[in-house]
DNA sequence: CGGGTTCTTGACTATCTTCAACGAAAGTGG
DNA sequence: CCACTTTCGTTGAAGATAGTCAAGAACCCG
């Protein structure tokens, strides 16, 4: 999952559910905290998340970390480059995964439909990552955090009374490393959104979206919304 | 082209030259300043850059811009998502391009080898973009600019006496929008590198790399290098 | 319950941006 | 070809945003 602003051109083709799966392999299960693969590992399988949440990370020698993506249900993780994984992948919660052979992606073979679908998933991945560039390069802390919550609301928000509830299985540090911020800034931004009644925190890992419209405005850098909120 | 730190795992498979091309279509030529496609256009062809430099951009409603990538010789641009382009693409210089049919990427058809190569290019694109995330999210201005120059030196640097020369066909604003900075910061960082004799500017669009080792150290956030340079 | 981790908050600082001015370069039209 | 205009790049000063360092609170887990 990347933080993408659904563009006008995608409205048609939103993959709301999980397609794929004329399955050749049986489901993989992973416990929260377990690693699915490490950077440098030879790629044997790709996986589509069926339930649970994964976290893909890369490290710099000096310890700086970037969370590349979170893997939510429907997402496909493990695309190879030169046959290898280029991130670490950890399960943040218990997770169920549908594996696909790397050869199905790369050669197709006996599964032309699946081959095609995996390729399309890779292409959508490229486009989604481009959106994420915009976020990392050009958005403020408030915009980043608000965008993040908006995307999660749309993808995995659950109705909770008249509001939407979003569970955050990842730590503040994970969110920070995903958005290019520090944990302190993420924490402060949550506080700020909470104080301005845009969200509420049911507990540390559960957010209630009180004013989705305001959150969206903040996500898109609406300056009026920023000022109203500061007051 | 993204700013990627060539990882230890890629050393094997560096595609130094341009492979591909068991060509089905004839070369396209583009004048500097001309657009190859716009965001939202239906994708008909992908293109491999044979000469010249392209610039891929996305815009936000409020005018903020992100340069997604520069297309240098060997790079492939125009990967579709849901059949459409998700960036604008402009030629920064006159350019020659090898077109490939979108159907060759998506269906293969009569060109299985080409189909495979295009797919591999898409997968390498994903990995390179992941590197670039790290840059946008976690690097300082000096690290970003130094990394950028290092990558260009390795990809398109020309020997100039005992030094390497790098041409920058793009504007400072393009570099800034690529690295997530402002033009002022890019300009100041160039000045800083110039004053510390790591680089020299032959003219505004031509950089001489005087101390590649120092540049690399700065690119990787070597703090000793930073301090030495500040002094 | 206790110890360790994670989250929040505060005070301070650094980095980068913003705003503004100026000079250099490049494009335009007589 | 030269003057004029416009764009682009550089520099300075001031300000804002996010980062750092540090401490305390909340949470988690055995």
CB atoms within 10 A of CB B172: 18
- Whether B115 shows a pLDDT value over 90: the answer reads yes
User: What is the tens place of the pLDDT at every residue in A153-208?
Assistant: 999 999 999 999 999 999 999 999 999 999 999 999 999 999 999 999 999 999 99
- Whether B13 shows a pLDDT value over 70: the answer reads no
Interface probe for B, chosen from A137, A139, A143, A186 (most Cβ of B below 10 Å), is A137
- Whether B164 shows a pLDDT value over 60: the answer reads yes
Nucleotide nearest to B187 (CA to C1'): D10
Domains defined along chain B, listed by start: 6-135 (2.60.120.10), 139-230 (1.10.10.10)
CB-closest option in B60, B130, B179 to A87? B130
Predicted pLDDT at A110: 81
Predicted pLDDT at A171: 97
Determine if the pTM surpasses 0.85.
Answer: yes
A147 — pLDDT class (breaks 50, 70, 90) = very high
Across A119-128, B49-58, B109-118, least confident range = B109-118
Predicted pLDDT at A19: 66
Q: Using a CB-CB distance cutoff of 8 angstroms, which residues of chain B are in contact with residue A8?
A: 40
CB-closest option in B58, B127, B137 to A66? B137
Q: Counting Cβ atoms within 10 Å, is residue A130 exposed (0-12), middle (13-18) or buried (19+)? A: buried
Among all residues of chain A, which has the CA nearest to that of B8? A40
Task: Assess whether A226 (CB) lies less than 7 A from strand C.
Answer: no
Predicted pLDDT at A94: 96
Q: Counting Cβ atoms within 10 Å, is residue B200 exposed (0-12), middle (13-18) or buried (19+)? A: middle
> Max alpha carbon distance in chain B (Å)?
62
Residues contacting residue B231 through CB under 8 Å, at least 6 positions apart: none
Contact status, residue B146 vs residue B199, Cβ threshold 8 Å:
no
Q: Mean pLDDT across chain A, nearest whole number?
A: 90
Q: Counting Cβ atoms within 10 Å, is residue B133 exposed (0-12), middle (13-18) or buried (19+)? A: buried
Predicted pLDDT at A14: 47
- Whether A5 shows a pLDDT value over 70: the answer reads no
Nucleotides on chain C that have an atom closer than 7 A to a protein CB are 6-11, 15-20, 25-26
């Amino acid at each position: 999952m990347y933080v993408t602003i659904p563009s006008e051109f995608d409205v048609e083709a939103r993959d709301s559910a999980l397609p794929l799966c004329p399955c050749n392999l049986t489901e993989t299960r992973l416990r929260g905290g377990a690693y699915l693969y490490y950077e440098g590992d030879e790629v044997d399988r790709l996986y589509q998340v069926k339930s649970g949440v994964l976290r893909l990370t890369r490290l710099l020698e000096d310890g700086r970390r970037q969370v590349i993506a979170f893997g939510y249900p429907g997402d496909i993780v493990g695309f190879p480059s030169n046959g290898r994984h280029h991130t670490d992948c950890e399960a943040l919660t218990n997770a169920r995964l549908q594996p696909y052979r790397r050869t199905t992606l790369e050669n197709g073979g006996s599964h032309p439909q699946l081959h095609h679908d995996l390729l399309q998933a890779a292409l959508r991945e490229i486009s989604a990552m481009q959106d994420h560039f915009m976020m990392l390069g050009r958005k403020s802390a408030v915009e980043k955090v608000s965008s993040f919550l908006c995307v999660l609301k749309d993808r995995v928000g659950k109705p909770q009374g008249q509001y939407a509830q979003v569970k955050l299985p990842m730590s503040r540090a994970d969110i920070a490393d995903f958005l290019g911020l520090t944990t302190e800034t993420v924490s402060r931004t949550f506080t700020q959104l909470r104080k301005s009644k845009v969200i509420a925190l049911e507990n540390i890992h559960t957010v209630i979206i009180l004013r989705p419209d305001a959150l969206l405005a903040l996500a898109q850098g609406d300056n009026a919304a920023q000022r109203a909120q500061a007051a």
